[in-house]
A = this chain, B = another copy of it.
């Protein structure tokens, strides 16, 4: 990989320690002192690699970067194709996601996630024939808000629904409204777009 083996080791230990501690105590309650104790790493070593706690948090984000290769509409012929794979993926990476997105960590990561998702959703809707406009952007905000709301509720343990049920709930709540913002059937460009309900 890149560089010294000792470096990789240290970074990995610190990242893992932070995730564990967030899950135990919540982001705010975790101190740098906690992290270096759990990681069994010298204090000066920590600050040689990271500037602070938040820096470690964000360094973890790269591992969640499957966000960048979301399936796009047109490929699958289905709107919001990201929904179910996302819920599935989250269940697999449960520990990390819970640490990053949960109510116990700052809203920092959530904000970034919303941006990425909003861009993807907007592209999808435009590809499906929606006219770019201020109204469309507000619709996108609503769609993303609903999705992230479900995600938060799930991660915070407010619901025990399965990925399939969450996906269904998301579509049931959102697609009827989205449909009205799309042009009537049978004309759009890139392939057959269907809004699936279950």
Residues of A within 8 A of B (CB): 28, 103, 106-107, 110-111, 114, 134-135, 137-139, 141-150, 152-153, 158-159, 161, 165-166, 169-170, 172-181
In whole angstroms, how far apart are the Cα atoms of A135 and B135 in the complex? 28
Q: Give which listed residue, B146, B165, B180, contacts A146 with CB less than 8 A.
A: B146
Q: Give which listed residue, B103, B137, B150, B178, contacts A142 with CB less than 8 A.
A: B150
In whole angstroms, how far apart are the Cα atoms of A180 and B159 in the complex? 22
**A143 touching B146, Cβ below 8 Å:** yes
**A176 touching B172, Cβ below 8 Å:** no
Contacts of A178 in B (CB 8 A): 173
Knowing that A138-B150, A139-B173, A149-B149 are A-B contacts, what are 6 other residue pairs whose CB atoms are under 8 Å apart, sorted by A's residue number? A139-B172, A145-B149, A145-B150, A146-B149, A172-B181, A173-B174
Contacts of A166 in B (CB 8 A): 138
Q: Give which listed residue, B114, B135, B142, B147, contacts A174 with CB less than 8 A.
A: B142
Q: How far is the CB of A22 from chain B (nearest CB, A)?
A: 14
- Name the prevailing secondary structure of the A interface residues: helix
In whole angstroms, how far apart are the Cα atoms of A109 and B109 in the complex? 17
Q: How far is the CB of A68 from chain B (nearest CB, A)?
A: 21
Q: Give which listed residue, B142, B147, B180, contacts A169 with CB less than 8 A.
A: B142
Q: How far is the CB of A46 from chain B (nearest CB, A)?
A: 20
**B145 touching A148, Cβ below 8 Å:** yes
In whole angstroms, how far apart are the Cα atoms of A176 and B174 in the complex? 8
**A172 closest partner in B (C-beta):** B177
In whole angstroms, how far apart are the Cα atoms of A178 and B176 in the complex? 9
In whole angstroms, how far apart are the Cα atoms of A174 and B143 in the complex? 9
